[in-house]
Structure 1
Amino acid sequence: MSAVGKVLSRSFRGLGTKISNSFKTAAVDYKTAAKETWASAKNRPLKSSLYAGLFSLGVCLNWTSPTEKQFTEDLVGSVNAVSLLTDSVKNKESDAHLQKISRHMAKGQIRYRNLILFSVVYASDYDKCNKFYESQCKHLQPRWYDTFGQILDIGCFGKYWVLQYKMADYDVDFEELPKDIDGRLDAVKDLMYRLSGVSYFGNPVVPISEQNRPITAAVVSE
């Protein structure tokens, strides 16, 4: 074997030894950390349960954070559903909300951000294709606390909550049939109903995505 070959052989052996030692050290560190975590959990079960619950909630929120595609599909389905109604029947609040989002979408101003635990859909001041200086300079962009008024929807647990809230009873004109809300308790009850997808009249609202599915005939056995 040449001198160069011997040098390369020793170098590769040394590199392999270093990599092996690194893996062994990491394995020992992880094993020690696991033992200490288990011992701490046994000594403080309440605190450990709280941390485990928060971690599980975070994983669940991240896993069920809705996508931009889902928002577009829900919006299109909602617009189609409302467009089938006459002006004397459709809910004015639902219609106004959909028209507002549609205008922003037509101008290319809709933006989507996945913030790990939830998703945010908001309206930008500029079109996506706008390359003017004002739209590109980071020093002229609005601060994060100035964008709250531009938020259109917040998504978590697999749904967009503002759209669901606005679309509750979209086929009822409450200007012609006012709600009988007396006091804060009734107002809070109505709020929770709409957020959970329940009609003012107490009936579960069929999601737009479910309404668009084809109806299959049931088989009746004699």
Structure 2
Amino acid sequence: MAAAAVGAGRGLWAWMARTRLGRWCSALLQDYAAALRETAQGARRRPLASAVTVAALGAVTACGASVPSADSFEAAAVEAAGSLLLLSPGTRSPDAERHVQRLLRRREAGRLRYRHLVLLAVVYEAPPGTGAGAQLYSSRCRYLRPPWRQAPARLLDVGFCGRWWLLRHRLRDCDVNEDEFRALPPRLRRLEPRQLRSEHNERLFLRKYEPAALGTGDQEEEEEA
């Protein structure tokens, strides 16, 4: 069996040396082999630059392979709507709810458009009347289409590394109703993380478990002042 394999290999090389197509294939293989040898020699001479290049190529390949699909965007929008429904209307973020409802309305109207841009994906809003069925004249006439300067307003989301970042940003604090805090002064509308776990707050939290003491309210107010 080994002898048959050796004979087949010799027959292949003889065919490549005898025919024009074989000579072309042989020259092509020699060019690729020379390029690989030069690449290996360059990597030995400059290992750091070669490692950075390989890492960059790996990162680009990973980003291209993890671009989310159009179905994943629709699933994320529906999941976001379900998450908002679990919250009471009083604690629901109005901005997040408006954004999700806008996505669902465009989805039902067939106006969501998906574009794969090699390393990322974008979802944008198509003009009215551009669904799969009948189309309006304003959507087909190039003089009546929205100008390019309105493109940022039509952009709905950007998909990168397996996530839809605009939807993720809008749902970050979806359980916080901003309208409840608009009447507060600007300095009280935002709290820093260090203020949430300060010693004063911890002391006030522990005081609610202490027994009530009558007649000491004035003294405590003076001490806090």
TM-score tier (shorter): 0.5 to 0.7
- TM-aligned CA distance change 1:110 to 1:26, over 3 Å: same
Q: 2:93 is aligned with what amino acid?
A: N
Aligned residue pairs total: 173
Q: Percent identity?
A: 26
Secondary structure of the corresponding residue to residue 21 of structure 1: helix
Give the alignment of 1:1-150 within 5 angstroms. Answer: 17-126=19-128, 127-129=130-132, 130-132=134-136, 134-136=138-140, 146-150=150-154
- Give, in angstroms, the shift of residue 147 of structure 1: 1.9
C-alpha distance in 2 between matches for 1:164 and 1:36:
46
Q: Aligned partner of 1:97: which letter?
A: H
Indicate yes or no: 2:159 matched with 1:155. yes
Tell me the distance in 2 between the aligned counterparts of 1:39 and 1:149. 51
Deviation, 1:61, is 0.4
The alignment's TM-score, normalised by the length of structure 2, stands at 0.65
The Cα of 1:120 is off from its aligned counterpart by: 0.7
The separation in 1 between residues aligned to 2:142 and 2:29, in whole angstroms, is 44
Q: Which runs of 5+ in 2 are unaligned?
A: 1-14, 183-187, 197-225
RMSD value, Cα? 3.1
Q: Which protein has the larger Cα radius of gyration, Structure 1 or Structure 2?
A: 2
Compared with structure 1, are the counterparts of its residues 117 and 145 closer, same or farther at alpha carbon in structure 2 (3 Å cutoff)?
farther
Query: Is 2:190 aligned against 1:181?
Result: yes
Q: Which deviates further from its counterpart, 86-95 or 123-132?
A: 123-132
Distance in 1 (CA, whole Å) between partners of 2:40 and 2:146 is 46
Q: How big is the shift at 1:156?
A: 1.2
- CA deviations 1:182-205 (Å, max 9, x no partner) are 7xxx6xx9xxxxxxxxxxx8xxxx
Report the CA distance between 1:41 and its aligned residue.
2.0
Unmatched tracts of structure 1, length 5 or more: 1-12, 190-200, 202-222
3-state SS, counterpart of residue 47 of structure 1: helix
User: 174, 187, 191: which is aligned to 1:170?
Assistant: 174
Question: Which whole-Å CA distance do the structure 2 matches of 1:157 and 1:120 have between them?
Answer: 12
Give how far 1:162 is off.
Answer: 0.9
